[in-house]
Amino acid sequence: MKDFSIGLDIHGVIDSYPKFFAVLTSMSWAQDYHIHIITGQEIEAGGIRKKLSDWGICYDFLFSVSDDLIEKGLLLKRTDKGPWFADEHWDSAKAEYCAKHEIDLHIDDSPIYGKHFRTPYMQVKSWQQLLKLQPTSSP
Ligand SMILES: [Mg+2]
């Protein structure tokens, strides 16, 4: 049987609620699930490994859309916000990675990337809203 694989975005997902994802990834590892961290940022320039370590995130694979597109020669320019790529390459990159690696569920906050996915995609809309929810009292 194929191992279950989860993809997790960082910006807007893990960094919005790192304590929750530390628990989720730890529990997933205990079930032998594979965790793929799939981020837009460059790994070295973004200090990604240190951030994940500081947050206590367990993972097996780390993929950077920016690093991948730069390696493919698709960098258009560098801006104050980082490297810049054509939308057609940027918007579908996570979907292509997830299809190639047969990711069973990718969790992301982008309303744009999802339409490119052929594998399951879950969009997180607002962790802040979720965290404000209070448990209801039992009747
Ligand atoms: Mg994001």
pLDDT tens, position by position, 43-68? 999 999 999 999 999 999 999 999 99
CA of 139 to the centre of ligand 1 (A): 38
Q: Is residue 139 part of a domain?
A: no
CA of 138 to the centre of ligand 1 (A): 35
CA of 39 to the centre of ligand 1 (A): 7
CA of 3 to the centre of ligand 1 (A): 25
Calculate the alpha carbon distances from 3 to 21, 34, 37, 109 in Å: 20, 7, 16, 25
Residue 129's pLDDT is 61
CA of 14 to the centre of ligand 1 (A): 9
Q: Is residue 135 part of a domain?
A: no
Give the predicted TM-score (pTM) of the model.
Answer: 0.89
CA of 38 to the centre of ligand 1 (A): 9
Judged against a pLDDT cut of 80, whether residue 133 lies above it is answered with: no
Q: Is residue 107 part of a domain?
A: yes
Judged against a pLDDT cut of 90, whether residue 137 lies above it is answered with: no
Q: Is residue 16 part of a domain?
A: yes
CA of 8 to the centre of ligand 1 (A): 9
Q: Is residue 32 part of a domain?
A: yes
Q: Which of 90, 26, 92 is nearest to 60 (CA)?
A: 26
The CATH number of the domain holding residue 39 is 3.40.50.1000
Q: Is residue 137 part of a domain?
A: no
Q: Is residue 136 part of a domain?
A: no
Residue 3's pLDDT is 85
CA of 110 to the centre of ligand 1 (A): 6
CA of 13 to the centre of ligand 1 (A): 6
Q: Which of 97, 84, 96, 103 is nearest to 42 (CA)?
A: 84
Instruction: Confirm if 110 and 9 have CB atoms less than 8 A apart.
Output: yes
pLDDT in tens, 21-49: 999 999 999 999 999 999 999 999 999 99
Number of structural domains (the chain) is: 1
Question: What's the CA angle centered on 12, arms 113 and 73, to 5 degrees?
Answer: 50
**Containing structural domain, residue 97:** 5-130
Judged against a pLDDT cut of 70, whether residue 139 lies above it is answered with: no
